[in-house]
């Protein structure tokens, strides 16, 4: 396959840096973006003119358009768009400062929206491309105490991407939602701010924070994950969603099984809401989900 051009947000560290290196080692070109492009100097020194460092704050829609224009001007086309930039702070929804909750959403969702929207005219004009949206396994299963803004944004990314895939299907644009579990990145390190956790939330939000801080010892290798994604994107057909990591794979399968079992148990009730359907019908046995799974 001919060399491809990648446009990667959040390339200064974590998954973004690993993915930039993996693509460059595979012989591709990379438009590496970061708020502070000086942090990308090592990439340029190592890979030369196959790297274009670009300053980008993904919350700035005009800047996203300008960055993609620079990518096109330098390399002629962009084959792979990677929306990786994002961060999480920890706090209960009840007590989280609203401005912090909104700022996280600005980066984690609106940043993805800005870059995805800005990329569409370019991808349409060149006859296609691949958009890789970084979510998390929490964006599929949810329920991580303390990550209200972050996980809400990840669910929103999934919804947006499904709509984009339907709307742009005739244009040859492909979409892949990546859902990692715990990886050895700085996600739970210096980039994560922990707000005050009231005593009544220490068993839930506090417990999650302690587990998140242990993510530096996580099993996930971001370099391996990056190499996997470079291989996957080169395929003719890509999955719509790709959990990465053993924990992500287990959680995805467990979540799907539980949701399928629940939908089947309530199917009769669901159908009974339509005009002409049998009504009323008995509700399922009133047991906890765990008990229902064992039945």
Tens digit of each residue's pLDDT (9 = 90 or more) over 122-159? 999 999 999 999 999 999 999 999 999 999 999 999 99
What was the pLDDT predicted at 69? 98
User: Cα angle at 111 between 110 and 115, to 5 degrees?
Assistant: 115
> Is 136 assigned a catalytic role?
no
For the structural domain made of 5-244, what CATH number should be given? 3.40.50.720
For the chain, the first-to-last Cα distance in angstroms comes to: 51
Catalytic residue among 113, 150, 175, 201: 150
* Annotated active-site residue in 18, 154, 175, 201: 154
Identify the pLDDT of residue 195.
75
Q: In this predicted structure, what is the pLDDT of residue 213?
A: 67
Both tokens of 84, joined, read: 């990786």
pLDDT the model gives residue 191: 60
Query: Which of the 8 DSSP states describes residue 82?
Result: E
| The predicted structure's pLDDT at residue 183 | 85
Domain with CATH 3.40.50.720 in the chain: 5-244
Helix ranges (DSSP H) in 36-110: 41-47, 61-75, 98-105
**CA gap 75, 71 in Å, rounded:** 6
- Distance from C-alpha of 156 to C-alpha of 143, rounded to nearest angstrom: 15
pLDDT value of residue 293: 60
What residues does 32 pair with on adjacent strands?
A: 8, 53
Which residues neighbour 221 within 8 Å (Cβ) at sequence distance 6 or greater? 183, 184
pLDDT for the residue numbered 237: 97
199-227: b (≥16 Cβ within 10 Å) or e: eebeeebbebbeebeebeebebebbebbb
Tell me the C-alpha distance between 58 and 60, whole Å: 5
pLDDT score, position 262: 97
Residue 255: per-residue pLDDT: 98
Which pLDDT belongs to residue 170? 97
Dihedral, 190, 193, 199, 201 alpha carbons, nearest 10: -100
pLDDT one-digit tens code per residue, 203-248: 999 888 777 666 456 678 999 999 999 999 999 999 999 999 999 9
pLDDT, tens digit, for every residue of 149-196? Answer: 999 999 999 999 999 999 999 999 999 999 999 887 765 555 667 777
pLDDT of residue 207: 87
pLDDT in tens, 93-108: 999 999 999 999 999 9
Exposure letters 144-160 (e unless 16+ CB within 10 A, then b): bbbbbbbbbbbbbbbeb
Question: Per residue in 56-86, pLDDT tens?
Answer: 999 999 999 999 999 999 999 999 999 999 9
What are φ and ψ of residue 46, in 5° steps? Answer: -85, -35
Is residue 135 part of the annotated active site? The answer reads yes
The number of residues in the chain equals: 295
d(C-alpha 185, C-alpha 215), whole Å: 8
Half-sphere exposure of 253 (CA within 13 A, CB side): 6
CA-based max dimension of the chain = 71
Query: Is 150 assigned a catalytic role?
Result: yes
* Better-predicted residue by pLDDT, 289 or 287: 287
pTM of the model: 0.93
Mapped onto helix, strand or coil, the DSSP state of residue 142 is coil
Whether 33 shows a pLDDT value over 80: the answer reads yes
Q: What is the pLDDT of residue 206?
A: 87
Say what the pLDDT of residue 2 is.
87
Cα–Cα distance between 141 and 88 in angstroms, integer? 17
- Options 12, 116, 135, 136, the catalytic residue: 135
Q: Is the pLDDT of residue 292 over 80?
A: no
d(CA 293, CA 295): 6
Q: What is the pLDDT of residue 217?
A: 62
């Amino acid at each position: 396959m001919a060399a491809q051009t990648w446009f990667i947000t959040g390339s200064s560290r974590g998954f973004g840096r690993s993915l930039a290196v993996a693509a460059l080692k595979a012989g591709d070109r990379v438009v590496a973006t970061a708020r502070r492009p000086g942090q990308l100097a090592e990439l340029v020194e190592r890979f030369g003119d196959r790297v274009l460092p670009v300053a980008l704050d993904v919350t700035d829609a005009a800047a996203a358009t300008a960055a993609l224009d620079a990518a096109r001007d330098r390399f002629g086309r962009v084959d792979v768009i990677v929306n990786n930039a994002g961060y999480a702070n920890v706090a209960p929804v009840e007590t989280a400062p609203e401005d912090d909750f909104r700022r996280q959403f600005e980066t984690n969702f609106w940043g993805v929206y800005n870059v995805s929207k800005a990329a569409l005219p370019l991808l349409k004009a060149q006859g296609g491309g691949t958009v890789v949206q970084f979510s998390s396994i929490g964006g599929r299963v949810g329920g991580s105490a303390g990550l209200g803004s972050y996980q809400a944004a990840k669910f929103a990314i999934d919804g947006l991407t499904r709509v984009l895939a339907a709307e742009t299907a005739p244009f040859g644009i492909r979409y892949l939602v990546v859902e990692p579990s715990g990886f050895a990145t700085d996600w739970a390190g210096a980039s994560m701010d922990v707000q005050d956790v009231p005593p009544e939330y220490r068993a839930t939000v506090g417990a999650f924070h302690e587990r998140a801080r242990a993510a530096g010892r996580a099993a996930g290798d971001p370099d391996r994950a990056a190499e996997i994604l470079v291989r996957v994107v080169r395929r003719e057909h890509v999955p719509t969603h790709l959990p990465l990591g053993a924990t992500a794979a287990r959680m995805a399968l467990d979540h799907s099984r539980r949701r399928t079992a629940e939908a089947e148990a309530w199917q009769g009730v669901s159908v009974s809401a339509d005009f002409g359907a049998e009504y009323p019908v008995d509700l399922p046995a009133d047991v906890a989900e765990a008990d229902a799974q064992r039945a």
